[in-house]
A and B are shown apart, each in its own frame.
Chain A
Amino acid sequence: MARVIVVTSGKGGVGKTTTSASFAAGLAQRGHKTVVIDFDVGLRNLDLIMGCERRVVYDFVNVINAEANLNQTLIRDKRVDTLYVLPASQTRDKEAITREGVDRVLNELKQTFDYIICDSPAGIERGALMALYFADEALVVTNPEVSSVRDSDRILGILASKSRRAEQGDDPIKEHLVLARYAPDRANRGDMLSVDDVMEILGIPLLGVIPESQAVLQSSNAGIPVVLEDSSDAGLAYSDLVARFLGEERPHRFLAVEKKGFFRRLFGN
């Protein structure tokens, strides 16, 4: 049975699209047929992060309006052949996405895909509500700073009350915390919230800690989901995250400040 997973946060710029791309790519790498959908109509960037922006012919709104079918719209990734992207429209506005339309598209996708990842826009308005409405599970992406935590708390309340599962009294959406852009040295200095601080306030299971990393910017500029860069710390952290999601036990890495050895200090990192 296909699982619909929303990647959301409330706050903007915390790493939802980066996480959606890597989470989807990681699942697909492990053989699961995965599609990642961009719900940010008008401000789409999932296609950029996935490196398929020049291959977009039709988009999500076209499919909802039956102007194109899924086969024509889905973009297959060139690196991982079980990974597909359903891009958003750049020219339409968000009124074009309707609940019935989304329901229809998701039901069709559930026929052939194992995992459907919904990349939510920021905020708590229509686009974000649409992205989370049909979810079975949620990855709540949070940065270790106060306003991001506050917004994540808000979105957790909304997941528990405004999703279809909540409205129909089904089992609640399974929530996972993704703590992104974590810098252990700043946390130790007290400039940044620690993992424990965030866990205490949000109280949901921790799926992964993604360290602040140069690799993320480089990957997004290159259009490669960072999980496919398995030499980078962020890439490895995403890989661990996917493994944990699938049930494997993986200890959390990148939480402690790395002690720089003599030669690294001499020659720089």
Chain B
Amino acid sequence: MMSSSTKSSEDQEPFELKGNLFTLTVMYLRHCNREAIDRHLAEKIRQAPGFFKNAPVVIDLETLTETDDFIDFAGLYDLLRGRGMIPVGVRNGSAKLQAAAVQAGLPVLPDNRSPVVAKKVDRPSGQRSKIVTQPVRSGQQLYAPDGDLILMGTVSPGAEVLADGSIHIYGTLRGRALAGAKGDTEARIFCQNLEAELVAIAGHYRVFEQLAPDTRGKAVQVYLLEDRLIIEPLSR
């Protein structure tokens, strides 16, 4: 006999809406000469062919030099799509331009400096943290998507460990550690001994040409404070 708490698949909600943070390429548009745009795009793509393929891009209208309020957004959309990029929205610009963009099917994304509070970042809950007990060998790469990475061994030089959340190393970090890989600036890196080649949080990185003498042999944490990487011993 089915208990009343079980739902059939039709009763369950078909989807869930959650806020999330994405890092996107922004195209700061200066003017709308289509030929010039196409030429410049072709050049950029030639330099890095794979980078722009199917890349979502936000068009920022703030740097426009022209004063007229008209932009053929539909034409611009086709132009970019033709080159492999996918416009997903616009940012800034006058109200009239924004309205035109919406008409053409491009949403207006919030300005990063606006007083409107950005949607709360869906912080990785840490419930999907990945625990690895083997040492991470040179040439290996480990990635913990949507959570923290917990390592119970050392990270050899030439190895790379990444996590969308924080990285905890119960051992020596000799390779590279990149936390907050999807942009979470609150992520941290913890290790028992820092001899790393590189550490990074949400894209802000630091290479270590020389081992920092004051943190040698000590347990440290690495965190981001106003875009600066702070490296601090853990023990008082």
* B-binding residues in A (CB < 8 A): 150, 153-154, 156-158, 160-161, 201, 203
Q: A157-B139, A160-B137 are in contact. Are A150 and B154 (CB under 8 A)?
A: no
Would A154 and B153 count as touching, CB distance under 8 A? no
Would B138 and A203 count as touching, CB distance under 8 A? no
Chain B residues with CB below 8 A from A156, complex form: 137
B107 at the interface (CB under 8 A from A): no
- Looking at the assembled complex, report how far the CB atom of A158 sits from the nearest CB atom of chain B, in whole angstroms: 8
Residues of B99-147 whose CB lies within 8 A of A: 134-140
Would B153 and A153 count as touching, CB distance under 8 A? no
Complex CA–CA separation, A131 to B137 (angstroms) = 20
Would B134 and A160 count as touching, CB distance under 8 A? yes
Greatest chain A CB density within 10 A among B135, B139, B140, B157 is at: B139
Would A203 and B153 count as touching, CB distance under 8 A? yes
Complex CA–CA separation, A154 to B135 (angstroms) = 12
Q: 8 nearest interchain CB pairs?
A: A157-B137, A153-B138, A154-B138, A157-B140, A153-B156, A154-B139, A156-B137, A153-B137
B56 at the interface (CB under 8 A from A): no
Complex CA–CA separation, A160 to B139 (angstroms) = 12
- Looking at the assembled complex, report how far the CB atom of B215 sits from the nearest CB atom of chain A, in whole angstroms: 18
Would B153 and A157 count as touching, CB distance under 8 A? no
Q: List 18 A-B contacts (CB under 8 A).
A: A150-B156, A150-B158, A153-B138, A153-B156, A154-B137, A154-B138, A154-B158, A157-B138, A157-B139, A157-B140, A157-B159, A158-B139, A160-B134, A160-B137, A201-B154, A201-B174, A203-B153, A203-B154
- Looking at the assembled complex, report how far the CB atom of B183 sits from the nearest CB atom of chain A, in whole angstroms: 29
* A-binding residues in B (CB < 8 A): 134-140, 153-154, 156-159, 174
- Looking at the assembled complex, report how far the CB atom of A73 sits from the nearest CB atom of chain B, in whole angstroms: 35
Complex CA–CA separation, A156 to B154 (angstroms) = 14
**What is the interface of chain A mostly: helix, strand, loop, or mixed?**
helix
- Looking at the assembled complex, report how far the CB atom of B191 sits from the nearest CB atom of chain A, in whole angstroms: 15
Chain B residues with CB below 8 A from A153, complex form: 137-138, 156-158
Chain B residues with CB below 8 A from A161, complex form: 140
5 further contact pairs, Cβ within 8 A, besides A154-B139, A160-B134, A203-B153: A154-B138, A156-B137, A157-B136, A157-B159, A201-B156
- Looking at the assembled complex, report how far the CB atom of A85 sits from the nearest CB atom of chain B, in whole angstroms: 32
Chain A residues with CB below 8 A from B136, complex form: 157
Chain A residues with CB below 8 A from B153, complex form: 203
Complex CA–CA separation, A124 to B153 (angstroms) = 24
- Looking at the assembled complex, report how far the CB atom of B171 sits from the nearest CB atom of chain A, in whole angstroms: 9
Would A203 and B158 count as touching, CB distance under 8 A? no
- Looking at the assembled complex, report how far the CB atom of B132 sits from the nearest CB atom of chain A, in whole angstroms: 12
Chain A residues with CB below 8 A from B159, complex form: 157
Chain A residues with CB below 8 A from B140, complex form: 157, 161
- Looking at the assembled complex, report how far the CB atom of A196 sits from the nearest CB atom of chain B, in whole angstroms: 14
- Looking at the assembled complex, report how far the CB atom of B220 sits from the nearest CB atom of chain A, in whole angstroms: 19
Chain A residues with CB below 8 A from B139, complex form: 154, 157-158
Would A150 and B157 count as touching, CB distance under 8 A? yes
Complex CA–CA separation, A201 to B157 (angstroms) = 9
Looking across the interface, which residue of chain A has its beta carbon closest to that of B157? A150
- Looking at the assembled complex, report how far the CB atom of B104 sits from the nearest CB atom of chain A, in whole angstroms: 49
Chain B residues with CB below 8 A from A201, complex form: 154, 156, 174
Complex CA–CA separation, A153 to B154 (angstroms) = 12
Looking across the interface, which residue of chain B has its beta carbon closest to that of A161? B140
Chain B residues with CB below 8 A from A150, complex form: 138, 156-158
Looking across the interface, which residue of chain A has its beta carbon closest to that of B154? A203
Complex CA–CA separation, A10 to B127 (angstroms) = 38
Chain A residues with CB below 8 A from B157, complex form: 150, 153
- Looking at the assembled complex, report how far the CB atom of B162 sits from the nearest CB atom of chain A, in whole angstroms: 16
Complex CA–CA separation, A156 to B138 (angstroms) = 9
